[in-house]
Structure 1
Amino acid sequence: MTTMDPATSNAPEMTFTVLGVLDAALHSSNVAGAVPHIAHDVVRKHTAINGLYIGLEDYMPLILGPRRVPPIACPAANTETSIAILTSVGFGQLTGTHYIEAARALKPDIVIGLADLIIGRPPGVKRRSKMVDRTHAYTQDTLERLYGDSLAESEKASALFFAPILPLDNTQQSLYLEDLEGEFRHRLFGLALYESASLSLVPEGLGSLPRLLLSEPSSPQDLLREISLGADLLAAPFVDAASDSGIALDFSFPAPSSAQHNAAQPLHLGFDLWSSVHTIDTSPLREGCACYACKHHHRAYFHHLLSAKEMSAWALLQIHNHHIIDLFFAGVRDSIQRGSFEEDVEIFNRAYASKIPDRTGQGPRLRGYQLPASAAHQPPRNPKAYGRLDDVVQKLAESESSVATPDTDSEGLEKHGFAEKA
């Protein structure tokens, strides 16, 4: 295995056992070892995806982490020796021992250390100190059991360890950071961060390490901002979200020169294929696009597939959208090498809209991890098919009031000869 030199600062290329990963680069998220909607052979033939982030509930990793990206909030709390995760069989606790055994057995290129994170809400003051203490203990135990001096060279793990940096101020995790700079430094090959604000807070002694950012950017502008702050490897969950929403991405970096002077009408980052304007549109998703989807199909066909809820619609869209994001990162690397990255970012921000179009159609069937966790006061997953008849009673009362009715009872009607037999 060829590894990056920990003493070099943000090396332009990190070479692992199988793949060369350039900086900056995207690592695609996946479900159960596969990119959503795309089979393994299609990934090999028709995409340029060269890295996967795989949570421990999945398999065949290049980058091994304990949680999905983006992470799922779990009802259970983390403990001194384990963290709460969502697996394919429900919520559970992932112990440090199990995680270390998995790292040894799966032999990933990168293993991300366990971190005591609070998902979905800010931690309290007392909880923050506990987060730091637990993460420090997780990291110390993992490093010792994977690369400890008591292990023979053949017993030491081959994976590169990326230490987690908590989404807290440096002062709140100062002791942990000091140990990362000192006692643990010779065993670290990178850092895993969970929000872009942490990129500017990395201590000087750790500044030369590659930075893997596991945040949730919602647009390419967010990716550019994170790269400018120092991120080397990034996640882009908005690509999968766009495919699920029936949106074809349509942007490039640097921005086309024709868009630089038209700031009053910015270019769209994508377009909604659910829209009826594509019903008879036989143009490709993007003019000149070399992806499989654009070479073989047109917008009207995509609109038909989505309307018919054909699974191939999302598979083809995923191929196209990943092709767009691959070209985007290739453009970013070229821009950095030319020394024009900051200028190109400014032009891109002026040329394109600030957000991806909103979803208008219905996406594919929800996967289990996309459903809200079962807990108290959770909204129902689906609207009720049946309910109380109070609204029906009210409607009947209103309809009866508009019909002419006699102001007497049945006996009075009989006296007047109503319903008498002949």
Structure 2
Amino acid sequence: MLVSLAAHSMATTATHFSVKARDDKARCGILSTRNGVVETPAVLLYTRRGGPLNLTSPDMLAAVTPPVQGVQLSAMQFLENPDASILREYGRGAHGFLCLEGFPVLASNRDPTMYEYAMRPSTDKEVHVSIHSGGHMVSPERYMETMAALKPDLFVSLCDEVPADATSKRVATSIMRTAAWLDACLQLHYTYQHQNRQATGGGQEVDPQPCGGSSNKGNGACGRSSADGKGSADNGSSSAGEGPLAGSLLLAALAGGGLAMERARAAAAVADKEGVGGYALCGLGAGEAPEQRPALIAASLGALSPIALERRPVFASGLSASPEDILAAVAEGVDLMDCAFVAQVTAGGYALTFPLRPHQGWRPPAAPDEELIAEADRAPVREPQPQLDRAAPPSSSLFGLSAAPGLGPDTSIGADDTKINLWSTSYRLDKGPLLPGCGCFACRRHSRAYVHHLLNTHEMLGDVLLEAHNTGHINAFLQAIREAITEGRFEEYRQWFRSLRSAPLVPAPRRVVAKRRASAEPSEPIESEPGTVEVTMTGAMEVEAHVARGGSGSREQRRSKWVSV
């Protein structure tokens, strides 16, 4: 019975995603939903406890350029205050309740900036999560009831997530539970897809939920028309005679913790399961090292058939802690990601400033010539020559490497090569935009000095302007990635971005010296001041040589004066 029901479910959702370009594992696709079209790979706007942090107004969301393609929210935050009954009474799902009409919504099983699991033991029937209202035991039935009230365009099945350091036995238990809960979610998904039709005796139409009051008519506040490609008029409400989850894609949760073999086994269990509309990489960003994530992603996706991946999107949560994380995920075939990175840098008062495209004439470094390397290895070893100019960087022309052009960021004021710190007092009189050449709302209308003033006076508008800029900048970054994939130069683009980060961010420390008496007579050990280094005998001899050459000061002063060595 499950197979036949799931097959009908898949028939209504399998055509929502298609791949249009590939470059190795990286791919560009089109995800069509009833509330708009998403060009992948894409990042989704982060929300906390249901709503965007600062871009709360539909006008502010519409002002972001490039535009916001979709929104991610944690379904666990709607278990209580508000719960499913309040959302059902409201009748317009997450789109209407959160004023997100016209934006595709993905409901995941966790918040990417916090970890709701592992506070208390879960069972085979329920998972324990800790949210803003306390601890809750969540069964598949309660989870899907919440999903039906939210009416998202995409949602992740219930998952028993474990941290990266979980034992292999605990990981195996989590895989077993997640697979069992996926079957329960598939059955409930079918039920909620056809709930209204079954209640009305099969196919009889019922009046759809109203979109709003008369004040919303004709002004676009109730959603965008299908003519502009941003969604239909119902804006998340069910079609006549269909259930609340009609047209929603179910993304199967792929667990496995920090073990690549277990992730491959978990993915193989759902590789050919009917009724699955996509896949969600769960449990990432829970303690594993960033360099381990590509292997974990590859293990999960490598166990899936190419045919299944061709028509099903891949979502990953907890990855986007830096631009490099985004590039690494896209390189392994991830289509959708949450955008917690923007929320984190905005909360710190930062504005993203990293370049989006290589400068004209940039070429990838040439591959190292094996003959030259072998010849260099055969060359006799010479004694190192003293460097006259110690500030000059070592040559690396043999391997075709070069430092990033231009001066590096000023780390003394909290900047690095991706962002600037608007809390710094160095911007209090800066009349320039957050990023020269940026066309976002914040950069076109406001200066760094103004945003610095807003942050220091604790005005919310400062965070609003920063999030508008940072969201637009990260969207432009994904746009550049899509262009690189379409043109078949994604790896070249990735090498260029890495070259920007190859130089050290923190400059070499200033020469810190220790102090001791300039005297030829043996002296007692002197405890150096904090931040100084120990004096060597060579340094003491250099001091004596300096004194013998007639250094400044009388002999009596030279005996008692502290000197730097």
**Which TM-score band (shorter chain)?**
0.7 to 0.9
Q: Hey, what does 1:192 align to over in structure 2?
A: 280
Corresponding residue for 1:180?
Answer: 270
Contact map agreement 1:255 1:351 (CA 8 A) in 2: no
The aligned amino acid for 1:49 is V
Aligned pair in 2 of structure 1 residues 150, 281: CA closer, same or farther (>3 Å)?
closer
Shift of residue 174 of structure 1? 6.2
Paired residue secondary structure (1:60): helix
What is the CA–CA distance in structure 2 between the aligned matches of 1:287 and 1:11, rounded to whole Å? 29
Structure 2 residue aligned with 1:35: 52
Deviation above 6 Å: which 4+ runs of structure 1?
A: 148-153, 258-261, 353-357
Q: Name the SS of the counterpart of 2:52 in structure 1.
A: coil
Q: Any conservation in 2 of the 1:77–1:84 contact (CA below 8 Å)?
A: yes
CA distance in 2, matches of 1:291, 1:355: 30
1:63 aligns with: 106
- Give 2:43's aligned amino acid: L
Q: Which whole-Å CA distance do the structure 2 matches of 1:174 and 1:285 have between them?
A: 44
Q: CA deviation at 1:257?
A: 3.7
After superposition, residues 209-358 of structure 1 pair within 5 angstroms as: 209-257=312-360, 263=404, 265=407, 268-352=417-501
Equivalent residues of 2:160, 2:175 under 8 A apart? yes
Query: Of the candidates 148, 165, 180, which is equivalent to residue 104 of structure 1?
Result: 148
Instruction: Give the SS at the match of 2:280.
Output: strand
TM-score w.r.t. structure 1 length? Answer: 0.76
Counterparts of 2:153 and 2:337 in 1: how far apart (Å)?
A: 16
Tell me by how many angstroms 1:148 deviates: 7.1
User: Whole-Å Cα distance in 2 between the matches of residues 356 and 53 of structure 1?
Assistant: 32
Q: Which moved more, 1:90-99 or 1:35-44?
A: 35-44
List per-residue Cα deviations over 1:250-279 (Å, max 9, x = no partner).
123323348887526556211111112111
Aligned to 2:208: none
Change (3 A) 1:11 1:331: closer
Tell me, in whole angstroms, the C-alpha distance in 2 between the residues paired with 1:124 and 1:343: 39
Q: What is the deviation of 1:249?
A: 0.3
* AA partner of residue 308 (structure 1): T
Residues of 2 paired with 1:82 and 1:355: CA distance?
47
Residue ranges of structure 1 left out of the alignment (5+ in a row): 358-422
1:83 has 2:127 as partner = yes
Farther off after superposition, 94-103 or 195-204: 195-204
SS at match of 2:15: coil
AA of the residue aligned to 2:15: D
Task: Tell whether the 8 Å contact from 2:358 to 2:496 is kept in structure 1 after alignment.
Answer: yes
3-state SS of 2:137 partner: strand
Structure 1 Cα separation of the partners of residues 361 and 420 of structure 2: 19
Amino acid aligned to 2:137:
Q
Q: What is the match of residue 142 of structure 1?
A: 185
Deviation at 1:4, TM superposition (A): 4.9
Gaps of 5+ in 2: 1-10, 20-26, 79-92, 96-104, 203-241, 285-292, 364-401, 410-416, 507-565
Q: What letter is aligned with 1:326? A: N
What does residue 525 of structure 2 align with? none
Quote the residue 2:175 is aligned against.
132
CA distance change for structure 1 residues 341 and 246 in 2, over 3 Å: closer, same or farther?
same
SS of 1:72's equivalent in the other structure is: coil
1:67 is aligned with what amino acid?
A: R
1:27 deviation in Å?
A: 0.9
- 1:326 deviates by 1.1
> How far is the alpha carbon of 1:23 from its aligned partner?
1.1
CA distance in 1, matches of 2:504, 2:52: 24
Whether contact under 8 Å (2:30, 2:39) holds in the other structure is yes
Secondary structure at the aligned position of 1:199 is classed as helix
Q: Does the C-alpha gap of structure 1 residues 175 and 167 become closer, same or farther in structure 2, counting only changes over 3 Å?
A: closer
Percent sequence identity is 23
Which string of whole-angstrom CA distances, capped at 9 and with x for unpartnered residues, describes residues 170-224 of structure 1? 6436664444123x2x211111003343321221424433210112332112211
8 A contact 1:259–1:266 mirrored in 2:
no
Residue 29 of structure 1 aligns to a residue whose secondary structure is strand
- How far apart are the structure 2 equivalents of 1:223 and 1:355? 21
**Alignment TM-score, normalising by the size of structure 2:** 0.57
Computed over aligned residues only, the root mean square deviation of the Cα atoms, in angstroms, reads: 3.0
Count residues with an aligned counterpart: 354
Take 1:166 and 1:355, find their aligned partners in 2: how far apart are those partners? 36
Superposed CA deviations along residues 49-83 of structure 1, whole A, max 9, x for unmatched, are 12111111147161112221234244222222222
Looking at structure 1, the residues matched to 420 and 298 of structure 2 have their Cα atoms a distance apart, in angstroms, of 34
8 Å contact from structure 1 (residues 266, 350) kept in 2: no
Output the CA distance in 2 between the equivalents of 1:3 and 1:354.
Answer: 47
Following superposition, the deviation at residue 35 of structure 1 comes to 1.6
Residue of structure 2 equivalent to 1:12? 29
Distance 1:193 1:231, change over 3 A: same
Supply the AA of the counterpart residue of 2:446.
H
Report the alpha carbon displacement of residue 86 of structure 1 after superposing the two structures with TM: 3.0
After TM superposition, give the deviation of residue 158 of structure 1 in Å.
Answer: 2.9
Task: Please give the alpha-carbon distance, in whole angstroms, between the structure 2 residues aligned to 1:114 and 1:198.
Answer: 20
